A and B are shown apart, each in its own frame.
Chain A
Amino acid sequence: MSKFAGKKAVVTGGTHGMGLAIVKALLDGGAEVLYTGRNEKKIEEARTELKSDKAHVVRSDAASMADIRGLADTAQEKLGRVDYLFVNHGIAEVQTLEETTEESWDRHFAINTKGAFFTVQSLSPLLNDNGAIVFTTVANDLIFPGLSAYSGSKEAVRAISHVLAAELLPRKIRVNSVAPGYIKTPTMGVAGMTEEERRDFEKQGADTSPLKRMGTVEEVAAAALFLAADATFTTNVEFPVDGGFAQGLTGAH
């Protein structure tokens, strides 16, 4: 496959889960990819798994402005110009209203929101005209007890993406979002769960998604790549990959 031959991409949060699936799909299509992670163990695992001279992993913390600037320098050095930027990194912690601490609140907004915005700001000069940005948001009509900080931080990203779609229009850079529902990933997107909690969460996901199963990371990657490469007359939309969860569908009787 050479659909993305000659294309260059940056994927933040690319060492595991949905981000890693996006990286793999890009590599399969012949693109050169710079991807980031924060956890050293996951970085090593991804490096070992991908073993491609077209894949460059860099340790970068989306909550660190120094790291974000460093990422832009690395992107310039390794890739030169960039065609597709996938702002995919993010954290989620389940904390109810009573449990939510200021530290947790700030961590969500620092990584998910501020980190997303400044990643775009830092990499924007490298983006080619006619390129694309794809944010990973969330099927946010799906209301979850205990995810105030997470949902707020992702909704902010969605709002920021609207403005960036307008601001980057003169450069013909499209800005869209992919909005996953329940997707089967190693962490299920939520940090700090016990094995039992994770199993319950998976079961809940499969039971409550109208399609009666969880989505796969490959399904998210397919939508992200569609938005980046194929949806050339589409900007400022959010593409749900949620098994119908947030689409107002009620199961048949």
Chain B
Amino acid sequence: MSKYAGKKAVIQGGTHGMGLGVAKALLAEGAEVVLTGRNEANIEAARAELAGEAAHVVRSDAANLDDVRALGGVVEEKLGRIDFLFINVGIAELVPFDQVTEEGYDRIFDINTKGAFFTVQRLAPLINKGGAVLFTTSIADNMGYPGITVYGGAKAALRTFAKGFAAELMPHGIRVNALSPGPIKTPSMGYPAMSDADKDVHEKEMNEISPMKRHGTIEEIAAAALFLAFEATFTTGTEVVVDGGLAQGIIPAAA
């Protein structure tokens, strides 16, 4: 299969979960990919899994602007110019607002928001005309769910960045959109610090309140991401939701 033969992509936050899923979908269709991660174990696991593929796994901390600048150099060296930039990096922590510390607040905004902005600033000059940028936002940017107020705020900023960049990169023929996942079945479930037992509880709780009564799959995210990246050529500045209807105001019909 070679649907993306000759295409080059950067995935920030690509060593596990949704980012890795998109990386694999790109590689399977012939693209070359630089993907970043911060956690050494995840980086090693991704390197092992993608060995022999046209993939370059780079350690890069989105909260560190030196790393972001260095990533620009690595991308120039490995790929030259790129067709798709997927800003998928992100962390979430479930913390009630009265227990949020300044450090916790800054960590969420530094990684999810500031890192995303400066990564696009650094890499935008490398994106080909006709290329695309995609941000992973979250249904939390438009919902009230206890414990993720800071995360929701950081992701809402990202939603706005997608519009701003869409306008600013329009003259360069680059489309910018956002992909807003609901609950997706990933190894971390979006909460790297959560215990496995808590993840199970969280998963059941989310299935319970979700209209489709299940989590989404990484493949479902990858399908939407690649559609927005390569096929939605008359769509820019929008957010596509992959949430099983969770944030769509649906009250399920009575059984």
Contact = CB atoms under 8 A, between A and B. Distances in A.
Nearest to B211: A169
Contact of B223 (A230, A241, A247, A249): A230
A184 to B, nearest CB: 10
A250 B212 contact: no
B240 A237 contact: yes
B234 A241 contact: yes
A234 B241 contact: yes
A185 interface: no
B231 A166 contact: no
B236 interface: yes
A232 interface: yes
B182 interface: yes
Contacts of A232: 220, 223
In this complex, the member of A162, A167, A181, A235 whose beta carbon has the largest number of chain B beta carbons within 10 angstroms is A235
Give the size range of A's interface with the partner. Answer: 35 or more
B73 to A, nearest CB: 27
Nearest to B171: A252
Contact of A235 (B175, B220, B244, B253): B244
15 contacts: A166-B253, A169-B250, A172-B212, A210-B167, A211-B175, A219-B234, A230-B224, A234-B241, A234-B245, A235-B244, A236-B248, A237-B240, A237-B248, A243-B236, A249-B163
Interface of A: 162, 165-167, 169-170, 172, 181, 210-211, 215-216, 219-220, 222-223, 226, 230-237, 239-244, 247-252
Given A166-B250, A233-B220, A244-B235, 18 more contacts: A166-B253, A170-B252, A170-B255, A210-B236, A210-B237, A211-B175, A219-B232, A219-B233, A219-B234, A231-B220, A233-B212, A234-B244, A234-B245, A235-B244, A236-B248, A241-B232, A241-B234, A244-B166
In the complex, the 10 A-B pairs of residues with the closest C-beta atoms, listed nearest first:
A247-B237, A233-B216, A215-B234, A236-B248, A219-B234, A244-B236, A233-B220, A249-B167, A235-B245, A230-B223
